[in-house]
Amino acid sequence: MIVLKLGGSVITEKDRAETLDGDALERATDAIAAALEAGLEDLVVVHGGGSFGHHNASEHGVSTTAGTHDASAVLEIHGAMKTLNRFVLSRLLERDVAAVPVHPFSAAHRDSEGRLELPTGQVETMLAEGFVPVLHGDLIAHAGAGATVVSGDELVTSLAGDLEADRVGLCSTVPGVLDGEDAVIDRIDEFDAVADVLGASDATDVTGGMAGKVQTLLDLEAEASIFGLEALESFLEGAEPGTTID
Ligand code: IPE
């Protein structure tokens, strides 16, 4: 089973509010459709927000830890993410991928320690029935804090662990994790070795940049890869493009 995240910055114009990167989304969905056609089974897709979630969330001061009790803010942020999810689903459906939505707001929550609780029965049943579940970064109810952001990366980690994924892919705007000379680092197996070269994400991003992604992926059982859009199809076909983290 593969859990694939399409970064929000890949499929949207991250610096322009609620703007899709239509060409990138077509390329991504072409690659997914081609891999499924070539025999890939059991794929879970998670997409980020890019310009569809982060702007609204930061306007309302909402992050993974700072919550809101304002229901209209919740609907605005969740609504933006559902709009983007709809675009992703329709591009997949156009390519005959049996993509179906899972909205984390209606499926998950955080406990009072901030831990994500995402039951997997829904996703497992969808997979068994031949669907491709498509989740997204979202807001979720958070005990003691109202509603906070759940990032696509957190969803990926949680699903990969609970569903015992074989592989995890993060399709990003960069071809991998870059070193000080902008060369792709082939393999990372401990954070300290790369801590110096990992900066924060440049555009508005309430859920952290590359450093956070690497840390999260190091904690996973499954082997994870960070790669660019051009390598998505080869990743789905079994190659290890970009940076491999384990
Ligand atoms: C963000 O999801 C969701 C919201 C801000 C509501 P992600 O944090 O996974 O999005 P990207 O991939 O970094 O854009």
Domain count, the chain: 1
Measure Cα distances from 82 to 38, 48, 105, 138, 246 in Å.
Answer: 29, 11, 10, 9, 32
Q: How far is the CA of 10 from the centre of ligand 1 (A)?
A: 11
* Per-residue pLDDT, 8: 95
Write out pLDDT tens, residues 118-158: 999 999 999 999 999 999 999 999 999 999 999 999 999 99
Domain, as residue range, for 192: 2-245
Of 3, 54, 229, best ligand 1 pocket probe by most atoms within 8 Å of the beta carbon? 54
Atom of ligand 1 nearest to the CA of 9: 14
Confidence of residue 205 (pLDDT cuts 50, 70, 90): very low
> Which residues approach ligand 1 with their CB closer than 6 A?
7-9, 48-50, 53-54, 57, 77, 81, 137-139, 149, 151-153, 205-207
* Per-residue pLDDT, 203: 42
**CATH number of 10's domain:** 3.40.1160.10
